Amino acid sequence: MLKPLILFFALALPMGCAVQSQSGSNTSNIEVAFSPEGGSEALILKVIGAARRSVRIAAYSFTSPAVVRSLMDAKRRGVDVKVLVDDRGNRSQSSIAAMSLLAGAEIPLRVISAYAIHHDKYIVVDERHVQTGSFNYSRAAANTNSENVIAIWDNPAIAVKYLDHWENRWEQGRTFDQKY
């Protein structure tokens, strides 16, 4: 019963606040942020910046220059980065440009069309940390939409559930055909 209460109170905190929860031997830190007040994109960049081994991202909309730069920076640091995005939701010129930059940086990218929409929005880092919420990886999500982001730090049990889901969807995707 304690876990739902901790999560409830974590979500009720002002943006950028952290909460520490304990569940047996597992300790997690939780951070939340909201848009357009600010903080959502910064928290996402913090999660990607923490990566030392791997980043797996699942996205619906993908147009954020800041997220693209952060993923490319992670790749340059030697992090294994893979990106999965909705096919139909990423046919705009800005989406194709963002995806082409990643493909050009040799970051594996797949599009998925097996569902009406692939509405997942999360990142798994180093099989330990998870970022999730309503935030589409787009400029609008950072600047004009009402969005939320939650980062769950150092919780491999949660991370493995998201990673299993990501791997299932990755297998259903197809390699992005670079346009530029």
Domain 51-180: which topology? Endonuclease; Chain A (3.30.870)
Kindly name the residue from 73, 87, 126, 154 that is annotated as catalytic. Answer: 126
pLDDT at 28: 66
At residue 171 the predicted structure's pLDDT band, cuts being 50, 70 and 90, is: very high
Q: Which of 93, 118, 91 minimizes the C-alpha distance to 176? A: 91
Respond yes or no: is residue 118 known to be catalytic. no
Alpha-carbon dihedral sign for residues 93, 174, 161, 69: negative
Respond yes or no: is residue 3 known to be catalytic. no
Residue extents of the structural domains in the chain: 51-180
User: What confidence tens digit (pLDDT) does each residue in 105-152 have?
Assistant: 999 999 999 999 999 999 999 999 999 999 999 989 989 999 999 999
Kindly name the residue from 73, 75, 119, 165 that is annotated as catalytic. Answer: 119
Respond yes or no: is residue 82 known to be catalytic. no
pLDDT at 27: 56
- Percent of the chain whose predicted confidence (pLDDT) is above 90: 77
To 10 degrees, the CA torsion angle through 7, 10, 12, 13? 180
Average pLDDT score over residue span 67-92: 96
Average pLDDT score over residue span 88-116: 94
CB burial of 118-151 (b: ≥16 within 10 Å; e: otherwise) equals: bebbbbbbbebbbbbbbbbbbbebbeebebebbb
